[in-house]
Amino acid sequence: VYKRQDLENERQSTQLLKAMAVAGFATMNIMLLSVSVWSGADSSTKDLFHIISAIVAVPVVIYSGQVFFRSAFGALSAGRLNMDVPISLAVLLALGMSIFETMTGGTEAYFDAATMLLFFLLIGRYLDQKMREKARNSAVALSNLTAKGANRVMPDGEVSYIAADEIAPGMVLRLLPGDRVPADGLLARGNTEFDRSHVTGESDPVKRGVGQSIEAGALNLTGLIDLEVEKSADQSFLAEIGRMLEAAEQGRGHYTRIADRMARIYAPAVHLLALITFLFWLWTTNGDWHASLTTAIAVLIITCPCALGLAVPVAHVVAASRLLSDCLLYTS
């Protein structure tokens, strides 16, 4: 399962990186042409540069904007709005208006705005994807600390191997040097040293004796011990870290849920604001649809919800990934 997920995540990261690189390259080149136009190029030069910009921008928007267009189309097909709908609309309207200006010999075109918007948004998407990959890698490293089972000491003194999911509180487990602790518990017999770097981040061994507690995932280094289980494996310290990491990876923290609820309100509000802006300018300019549409596009671009849509989940995943990378520093 993890291998298939890793391959799919790698494919998505590569696709985002390529789209970001293409958008960035196109933005830089279109900006160079735009500077010449803004600097006072004559009419024929301006028209030529607009045509060249269109030749560069149109395929770039089609290629680099796929991640937003597909998401927006999927949301609209389901009868709802998401953050990518206003983004897609802003990019396509800016591109369409620029093509119209180029075909009619207009003084201004906005190809650089369309590609630049995609470039910066793709940076955010790519960073978000990479942070989620780091969190998933931490989850894999965490799973390597989980014992698959342990030797149980029966009341009659016999020892039998049981799987981790069969371990229950009150059982006594016998751990040899080199064994991982499968569940939280107290030492019932023996003394030993443990590697607790997954808890403390420190590689120095920690001594434990009878009556002292130890967390799941610790590595028994020196002595043979008996451990009285206090919690089942699925309720252990290690399992709790795994659940926290999974929640962080999915970005379903408290503030993320608030952002999701805000997004359902924010996207329709942005479209309504752009429509009101268009109608207001159409009224104040006595029917100048060109100026009205340009202003409405500007509203869509300015209100593109980069922070609301990306910053909150990125912050959650980065924090969790950093925490786990520190805890698991000495396990690799």
d(CA 324, CA 306): 27
Q: Does the structure show a pLDDT above 50 at 331?
A: no
On the question of pLDDT at 41 being above 90, the answer is: no
pLDDT confidence band for 276 (50 / 70 / 90): very high
- How does pLDDT run across 279-300, given as a tens digit for each residue? 999 999 888 888 888 888 888 7
pLDDT at 253 over 60: no
* CA separation for the pair 255, 274 (Å, rounded): 27
Q: Is the pLDDT of residue 213 over 50?
A: yes
Q: How many residues does the chain have?
A: 332
Q: What are phi and psi of 203, to 5 degrees?
A: -90, -10
Of 26, 248, 241, the residue nearest 128 (C-alpha): 248
CA distance 63 to 19: 7
Segment 43-59 shows an average pLDDT of 90
> What is the reported pLDDT for 59?
95
CA distance 247 to 132: 11
Q: Which one is predicted more confidently, 66 or 4?
A: 66
At residue 330, does pLDDT exceed 50? no
pLDDT tens for each residue of 112-168: 888 998 998 888 788 778 777 776 776 667 667 778 888 998 988 888 888 888 888
Rounded distance, CA 138 to CA 328, Å? Answer: 8
* Alpha-carbon radius of gyration of the chain: 29
What average pLDDT does this structure show over 320-329? 56
Q: Is the pLDDT of residue 185 over 70?
A: yes
As a dihedral over the C-alpha atoms of residue 185, residue 190, residue 193, residue 194, rounded to 10 degrees, the angle is -20
CA-closest candidate to residue 135, choices 314, 7, 321, 5: 321
Q: Among positive and negative, which fits the CA dihedral 179, 185, 187, 189?
A: negative
Average pLDDT, the chain: 81
Provide, rounded to the nearest whole percent, the portion of the chain with pLDDT above 70.
81
Half-sphere exposure of 30 (CA within 13 A, CB side): 28
Higher pLDDT, 156 or 60: 60
Task: Check: CB of residue 23 under 8 Å from CB of residue 68.
Answer: no
Please give the Cα distance from 174 to 294 (Å, whole number): 74
The C-alpha angle 265, 271, 277, rounded to 5 degrees, equals 130
pLDDT bracket for residue 56 (50, 70, 90): very high
CB-based contacts of 151, cutoff 8 Å, min separation 6: 159, 160, 161, 162, 173, 174, 175, 176
Whether 18 has a pLDDT exceeding 70, the answer reads: yes
Going by pLDDT thresholds of 50, 70 and 90, the confidence category of residue 250 is low
Residue 1: per-residue pLDDT? 46
Give 179's DSSP letter: P
pTM: 0.67
* Per-residue pLDDT, 54: 93
Is the confidence at residue 320, as pLDDT, over 80? no
Those residues with Cβ within 8 angstroms of residue 192's Cβ, 6 or more apart along the chain or in another chain: 177, 207, 208, 220, 221, 222, 223, 224, 225
Evaluated on CA atoms 290, 292, 294, 300, the torsion sign reads negative
CA distance 188 to 210: 5
Residue bearing the bigger pLDDT, 133 or 224: 224
Closest CA to 65 of 98, 108, 19: 19
